[in-house]
């Protein structure tokens, strides 16, 4: 499989995956891949270093896997179609979804809507399942925001740039918004959000104009253009997609499924969506580490529980 990344390394369009230096030269081969050696950090690498393909067996199945994933085939169907075991199918799914995290993360421009939504904490698929009965991310029986709800910050501008971030357990704070979208909103933009004090603080800190829309005061649209209906509709569509396609997902992997949803939205207008998806997935040199840190990030998330 001759990849675009190999081409880019040969043409010096990308740097050393270890130190980003351009001072590297060809250095033989490594299991069929071209190997390079960096003169700056002295380390060697191939086009797969850092990507989820590094050290992967059965690389020849990757394109078929991506195709089946593109068709949203279940792990059981993929297992049969590619003659791999279900654990491999599962691991590959999450390696690929981890690789989508930063793909096409553009700045927000113009009218920017942001609002959080909540998913019930779920340990679906976990062997040490402590909670009983409620496997799917349904509605909590208690009113208000409790600590067993996972806050997801959804942000979108009117040109289609979108961010879906698993932020914290329970109520979000200013720092959660900052972590999700801070530094990505272009200066002259206008932020639309509910009356949440965290959004007010975030807007103030970032010198952004804020239009507050309070549903409790029936403020659904202001001046005909300012509203948060796009993100609220996204909340519903994402939940519906997760429930109908996967019958709920484990909180540990929620960010990955959000990456999947976002990437489909980003590429839905592209005429070569499948190719874009494959390129995005196989060229991200931080994806293997991101995949390895899933457990760590989950632990960090649930310790935010009050
Ligand atoms: Zn280097």
Antiparallel, parallel or unpaired: β 33-38 and 44-45: antiparallel
Query: Residue 106: inside a domain, yes or no?
Result: no
Domain range for 93: 50-99+270-306
CB 221 within 8 A of CB 142: no
- Both 142 and 245 in one domain: the answer is yes
What distance in Å separates the CA atoms of residue 233 and residue 156, rounded to the nearest whole number?
A: 11
- Both 37 and 58 in one domain: the answer is no
Given a cut of 60, whether residue 187 has pLDDT beyond it is yes
Per residue in 4-57, pLDDT tens? 889 999 999 999 999 999 999 999 998 888 999 999 999 999 999 999 999 999
Give the other-Cβ count within 10 Å of 35's Cβ. 15
Distance 15 CA to ligand 1 centre (A): 8
- Both 150 and 18 in one domain: the answer is no
Distance 16 CA to ligand 1 centre (A): 5
What distance in Å separates the CA atoms of residue 2 and residue 285, rounded to the nearest whole number?
A: 17
CB 156 within 8 A of CB 180: no
Distance 36 CA to ligand 1 centre (A): 10
By the 10 Å C-beta count (0-12 exposed, 13-18 middle, 19+ buried), 109 is classed as middle
Per residue in 90-130, pLDDT tens? 999 999 999 999 998 999 999 999 999 999 999 876 654 44
Global pTM value: 0.90
What distance in Å separates the CA atoms of residue 86 and residue 192, rounded to the nearest whole number?
A: 43
- Both 302 and 222 in one domain: the answer is no
Distance 51 CA to ligand 1 centre (A): 16
Given a cut of 60, whether residue 132 has pLDDT beyond it is no
Place of tokens 């403020």: 219
Query: Residue 155: inside a domain, yes or no?
Result: yes
Distance 107 CA to ligand 1 centre (A): 29
- Both 147 and 225 in one domain: the answer is yes
Rg (CA), the chain: 21
């Amino acid at each position: 499989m001759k990849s675009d990344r190999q081409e880019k390394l040969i043409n010096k369009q990308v740097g050393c995956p270890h130190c980003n230096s351009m001072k590297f030269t060809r250095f033989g081969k490594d299991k069929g891949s071209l190997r390079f050696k960096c003169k700056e950090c002295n380390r060697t690498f191939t086009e797969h270093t850092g990507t989820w393909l590094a050290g992967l067996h059965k690389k020849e199945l990757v394109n078929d896997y991506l195709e089946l994933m593109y068709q949203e085939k279940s792990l059981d169907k993929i297992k049969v179609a590619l003659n791999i075991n279900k654990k491999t199918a599962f691991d590959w799914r999450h390696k690929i979804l981890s690789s989508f995290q930063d793909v096409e993360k553009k700045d927000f421009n113009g009218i920017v809507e942001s609002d959080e939504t909540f998913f019930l904490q779920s340990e679906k698929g976990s062997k040490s399942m402590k909670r009983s009965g409620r496997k799917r991310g349904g509605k909590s029986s208690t009113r208000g925001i409790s600590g067993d709800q996972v806050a997801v910050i959804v942000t979108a501008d009117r040109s289609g740039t979108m961010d879906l971030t698993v932020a914290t357990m329970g109520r979000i704070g200013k720092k959660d918004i900052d972590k999700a979208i801070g530094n990505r909103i272009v200066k002259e933009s206008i932020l639309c959000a509910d009356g949440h004090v965290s959004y007010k603080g975030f807007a103030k800190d970032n010198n952004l104009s804020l239009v507050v829309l309070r549903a409790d005061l029936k403020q659904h649209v202001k001046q005909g253009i300012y509203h948060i209906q796009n993100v609220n509709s996204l909340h519903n569509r994402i939940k519906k997609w997760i429930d109908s396609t996967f019958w709920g997902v484990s909180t540990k992997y929620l960010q990955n499924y959000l990456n999947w949803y976002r990437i489909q939205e980003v590429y839905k207008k592209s005429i070569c969506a499948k190719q874009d998806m494959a390129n995005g997935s196989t060229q991200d040199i931080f994806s293997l580490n991101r995949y390895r840190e899933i457990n760590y990030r989950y632990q960090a998330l649930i310790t935010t529980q009050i």
